[in-house]
Amino acid sequence: MDYEPVGLATDLVILTVRDGRFEVLLIRRGIPPYQHRWALPGGFVRPGEDLETTARRELAEETGLTGERLPGEQGGRIHLEQVATYGAPDRDPRGRVVSVAYLALVPDLPAPVAGSDAAAASWVEVSDVLADPARLAFDHHRILTDAVERARAKLEYSPLATAFCPDAFTISELRGVYEAVWGTPLDPRNFHRKVTKTTNFVTPTGQTTTRDGGRPAQLFHRGTATTLHPPMTRT
């Protein structure tokens, strides 16, 4: 066939919300190029491997999350979606490498990051990384920018914010996700009404918790909705 063979890789933008902070998982590169610089986790697609399979495998390597539904768990699967593909001829000094970027949204991980083969992996606040275009290796700043914009937009018209929450969560915990990702405060009372009245956004578990302090709050699971009508608004 008449084509240039290229290296095919995937890069992962793994986002979470921890203690009200919107964070991304970065690794410190142990080998050249860009040795000792921060980068998104990623790697090459193996022979015969599907793109999403590569992404899930790397997600598991970095976070220990398999994306499989655990027995007894309600929500289960980790949200993973393709964002875009980056293929500038000079984006990797080693040669022609095209990278398919994936966005993963994970809840606050109970266990620390384990099983990573990177020199160091850590959660870093998204706003800090976005503010410094030179912090990341390769074109990863561009990739992160695109992925974060996608995530912020999707919170408006999809129930994706629940992907950041544990299996059972309170409305104010969900609101905390919106506030962290968007960086804006929301009215707790109108937010509560809007979420609970949008059909299939969340479903009550019948249980309550006082882990957030104050009056006990109802616990909810993710609902079955895939899009929100009307959308949540950012103001």
Q: What are the residues binding a second copy (CB under 8 A)?
A: 1-9, 44-51, 82, 84-85, 87-89, 94-96, 98, 100
- List 9, 171, 177, 180, residue binding DNA (CB under 7 A): 171
* HEC-encoded secondary structure of 39-69: ECCEEECCCCCCHHHHHHHHHHHHHCCCCCC
- The nearer residue to DNA, 113 or 217, going by C-beta atoms, is 217
Residue from 100, 90, 126 nearest 15 by CA: 126
The site partner of 190 among DNA, a second copy, none (C-beta below 5 to 8 Å per kind) is: DNA
The site partner of 199 among DNA, a second copy, none (C-beta below 5 to 8 Å per kind) is: none
- The nearer residue to DNA, 69 or 193, going by C-beta atoms, is 193
Maximal CA-CA distance, the chain: 68
What's the CA gap between 58 and 55, in Å, rounded? 5
Residues in the chain: 235
- The nearer residue to a second copy, 95 or 188, going by C-beta atoms, is 95
- List 5, 20, 112, 230, residue binding DNA (CB under 7 A): 230
The site partner of 89 among DNA, a second copy, none (C-beta below 5 to 8 Å per kind) is: a second copy
- The nearer residue to a second copy, 189 or 229, going by C-beta atoms, is 229
> Least distance in Å: CB of 144 to DNA?
28
Using rule CB under 7 A, residue 203 touches DNA: no
64-71, Cβ contacts within 8 angstroms, sequence gap of 24 or more: 64/109, 64/111, 64/113, 64/114, 64/115, 65/106, 65/109
> Least distance in Å: CB of 18 to DNA?
17
**Tokens representing 44?**
């090459």
Q: Torsion-angle region of residue 143: left (phi > 0), alpha (psi -120 to 50) or beta?
A: alpha
Q: Torsion-angle region of residue 114: left (phi > 0), alpha (psi -120 to 50) or beta?
A: beta
Residues 6 or more apart in contact with residue 190 via CB below 8 angstroms: none
- List 190, 200, 207, 224, residue binding DNA (CB under 7 A): 190
**Tokens representing 28?**
């410190």
**For residue 165, what is the DSSP state?**
S
In the stretch 106-125, what mask flags binding to DNA with x, by CB under 7 A?
A: --------------------
> Least distance in Å: CB of 118 to a second copy?
16
> Least distance in Å: CB of 37 to DNA?
39
Using rule CB under 7 A, residue 222 touches DNA: no
